[in-house]
Amino acid sequence: MANLGFVGLGVMGGQMVNRLLSKGHTVTGYNRTRSKAQWLIDKGMKWADSPRAVAAAADVTFAMVTNSAAITSVTEGPDGLLAGLSKGKVFVDISTVSPSVSRALASKVREKGADMVDSPVSGSVITLQEGKLSVMVGGRRETFDRVKPLLLDIGPKVTYVGDNGLALAMKIAVNLSLAVQMMAFSEGVLLAEKSGIARETAVDVLTHSAVASPMIQYRGPFVLQQPEEAWFDVNMMQKDMLLALELGRQLDVPLPTTAVSNEFLTAARGMGMAKLDFAVMFDVLARMSGISK
């Protein structure tokens, strides 16, 4: 059983801590809004008043925050996570951020005598709760070997992909396809619907057809009814699409379907749907097709 820390107790981060607690680990946690973490405190998680205090208390500290600016916010400064690191400690960043930002942070972590891996995940709240999450890891191999058993307590598939930043590149490559698949699925549903097929029937057929990836199977029904709380909202998805487009430009890889799908996310934001699950791309295309929900 390990002595762990966790910074960022949102929907996914909180569920990860819940799994780590269920495996018998000691977890010290911090979240900007303490009330959102109360359910974990009630389950035995220790509370810390700053990211620094979390890192100081733990041997291995995880973080899961929204973007590059957020990871800088929780790591820098007198109360930042970096200030709590010391020789022999490990920082595991699960956030999806820019690979270059992550590599720069890893250098700062090593200056403290600690080490860092980037370890983004693929999956939703449902796949996490079902124990089916996929984890990618970038960093030194010996550090990966040290944290792999802990990551296996979060998800059953843990893959070492190479040096620092490469797990993030892999995660970005995965996530661009989510929006692209949602776009194609929406086109199929709307084409069927305007042909005279009930939307519910079209969704049922497509989610049981050859195009039904795991993502389409669990998110496809969102075109019929949005979840009460977004699993992955428009703003979050667009953040990852912009990371993909930036990486594509850096590497001279054209990403035409990513670019088009990204514009539908922009349209969703313009229509006031930024906080809805990104499956709302369907509603944007539906309006363009002359169909109201």
Going through 98-253 in order, the beta strands assigned E by DSSP cover 115-118, 121-122, 134-138, 157-162
* Strand-pair category, 3-7 with 26-30: parallel
Q: Which of 128, 122, 125, 91 is closest to 109 using CA atoms?
A: 91
Structure tokens belonging to residue 41:
């405190």
DSSP, res 233: B
Whether residue 46 lies in the annotated active site: no
Catalytic residue, candidates 171, 239, 275, 293: 171
Length of the chain: 293
Residues in CB range of 151: below 8 A, 6 or more apart? 92, 119, 135, 137, 158
Residue 277: strand pairing partners: 233
Could you list the active site residues? 171
